[in-house]
Amino acid sequence: MASRAKATIFDIAREAGVSKSTVSLVLQGSGLIRPETAVKVRKAIEDVGYVYNRGAANLRKAHSNVIGMVINDLTNPFFAELAVGMERVFQSAGIVPFIANTAENPVRQEEVLKSLMEQGVAGLIVSPARGTTPGAFRRLEMAGVPVVFAMRRLPESRIPVITPDNHRGAYLAAAHLIGKGHRRLAFFGGSADLVVYQERLGGFREACETLGIAARDITVIEGETSRRGGIACLDTALATSEPPTAALCFNDAVAFGVMLALRKRGLEPGPDFAVVGFDDVVEAEHYMPALTSVSVDTAGLGERAAHVMLKMIQSRTTRAEDHIGAVNLVIRESCGPDRRARNRPAGMGDAA
């Protein structure tokens, strides 16, 4: 059953009684071959258990059909959603994207990028790891491989970027909090070496300024972009003399952490302390209480990035327009104080 040495187009040719060139033509679906010949060849392909060798083909062909997705943190469901969006469009283009995880590690990222290049990728969609050096993508540029950044960007770089409107999202969220009557606000999580962070914090600050919140009433605490980071942020914030009463979190993971920490202290997220997240991952809606968050249409951005990529490959360019995706604030229960009647524990309360 198991075929000996792997079959090549020559084996097919022999089997079908044609030349290797004919087989190649059939493989490429050329209209030049007679239908009955094609049928014969296809049968032979099946019979010998042939598997196409794309590496060999790429040696002659101009471009491969491999597209890489380089993602900084696969365990964040946010990036999985992004990946899913991209896959939707690549699939309909007959392309199988390969995903590689850099685990937020620039060194690892370097390896991944190198490996992908050696593989001869046609293009790369990248959410760069924290601490990526400006030169990390120079080789790609030199080789003329199209690259687009998704969700994150590098400080000064000419690589096209697909991101949500971080500034506006943060502005909306902060304005909402202020509108609810909060006067002492915090921004939790993230770190200043990320451009996204600058943008989100910028929007937050602008809202505060415009709507009359004094700078000394603003608490900014950097931290890990994870649940753990959120817990830490809340703890240090509440330790101050005049603690904030509401926080915008760098992302939903941080917000979940904050809510958890509130509960641990016996405080109820929403009524006792307002929290707003960013990204609106699917869990946000299902959390308890449901998290108010800035929705960024993750999958949509993924699709967009994929389309841009496809277009770049097609027109063999390495440039493209940036795309700033629309955002909107999804208001749920985690930001008081228009307190809905909270369900009392262990009772047959009215179904929500």
Q: Examine residue 53 and tell whether it contacts DNA (CB under 7 A).
A: yes
Q: Does 316 engage in binding with DNA (CB under 7 A)?
A: no
Shorter beta-carbon distance to a second copy: residue 80 or 324: 80
Question: From residue 225 to residue 264, what is the string marking binding to a second copy with x (rule CB under 8 A)?
Answer: --x----------------------------xx--x--xx
Which position among 101, 127, 293, 295 is part of the footprint of a second copy (CB under 8 A)?
101
Question: Is residue 350 classed exposed, middle or buried when 0-12, 13-18 and 19+ CB atoms within 10 A define those classes?
Answer: exposed
Size of the site for a second copy (CB under 8 A): 72
Site string for DNA, 176-215 (x = CB under 7 A): ----------------------------------------
341, interface contact from a second copy, DNA, none, CB < 5-8 Å by kind: none
What are 199's two structure tokens? 């943008």
- Concatenating the DSSP letter of every residue in 260-276 gives HHHHHTTPPBTTTBEEE
CB of 334 to a second copy, least distance (A): 12
Tokens of 85: 């969006």
What gap in Å lies between CA 219 and CA 44, rounded to an integer? 71
Sort residue 162 into left (φ over 0), alpha (ψ -120 to 50) or beta: beta
Per-position x/- string for 76-95, each x denoting binding to a second copy as judged by CB under 8 A, each - no binding:
-x--xx-xx--x---x----
Least CB distance from residue 316 to DNA, whole Å?
Answer: 14
Site map 113..132 versus a second copy, x via CB under 8 A: --xxxxxx------------
Rounded Cα distance, 12 and 20, in Å? 8
Which of 18, 66, 208, 234 touches a second copy by CB under 8 A?
Answer: 66
Q: Do strands 67-71 and 123-126 pair parallel, antiparallel, or not at all (unpaired)?
A: parallel
**Stretch of residues binding DNA (CB under 7 A), selected from 6-14, 98-106, 170-178, 281-289:** 6-14
User: Which of 100, 163, 93 has the alpha carbon at shortest distance from 312?
Assistant: 93
Q: How far apart are the first and last CA of the chain?
A: 61
Token output for 201: 């914090």
Cis peptide before 271 (omega within 30 of 0): no
* Residue 332 sits in the site that holds a second copy (CB under 8 A): no
